Amino acid sequence: MPAASPVIVLASRSPRRVELLTQLLAPLSLSFEIDPADIDESPHVGESPTEYVRRCAMEKALVVSKRRHKLEPDGDVLVIGADTTIDLDGHIIGQPVDLNEAAVMLRRLSGRSHQVHTAVWVQRGDRQAGGIATAVVTMGPLPPELLTWYLGTGESIGKAGAYAAQGHGSALVRRIEGDLNTVIGLPIGLVGDLVARVGVSWKPGA
């Protein structure tokens, strides 16, 4: 790692992303700041799930990067933006606004496979890089009693698709094809590849 490493900023307040980035950076004795972008995450008309998730990740990183540049024009800051969405037959399924909407989402996913896309965008000054990781999740059938139980955990709110595969929602999931971290919200392998493209190495001893 270069002696003068950039300030690392996560443009998200997601506890899952905070935890995953901590797991990645702690062994390297690196820390990071949390600076949520709070952008409008409404899908655009005609936007595909991958277009949507890439745009949101990019906008989060750009908003925070510009904000940091105004505060410290000469600072070396690496901003990480990420966004996750559910893709069911080409339709975007985002976060539910309440438990009623969560129930509707989960009924749509019941007994079916869907894709989970997590986009990551890194911004370091004028240098930038982005990518998307995708996993396939197969949900088991959700009988009313199981759905009622899961909604009662309160875990649905704030989660794309109204479930958390790493939490109580694991009881709903039959199979995951791909990286679980993609489903959780931050594919750390992709993050490492992208930061390398803007001149930062997070390999031990680098």
Q: In angstroms, rounded to a whole number, what is the distance separating the alpha carbons of residues 137 and 178?
A: 9
Strand duo 7-10 + 77-88: pairing:
parallel
Q: Say which residues have a Cβ less than 8 Å from residue 140's Cβ, sequence separation at least 6.
A: 110, 111, 172, 173, 174
Distances (CA, A) of 73 to 68, 69, 84, 126, 189: 8, 5, 30, 12, 30
The catalytic residues are 83
Alpha-carbon torsion angle 174, 178, 179, 182, nearest 10: -90
CA 58 to chain centre: 12
Strand duo 173-177 + 127-139: pairing:
antiparallel
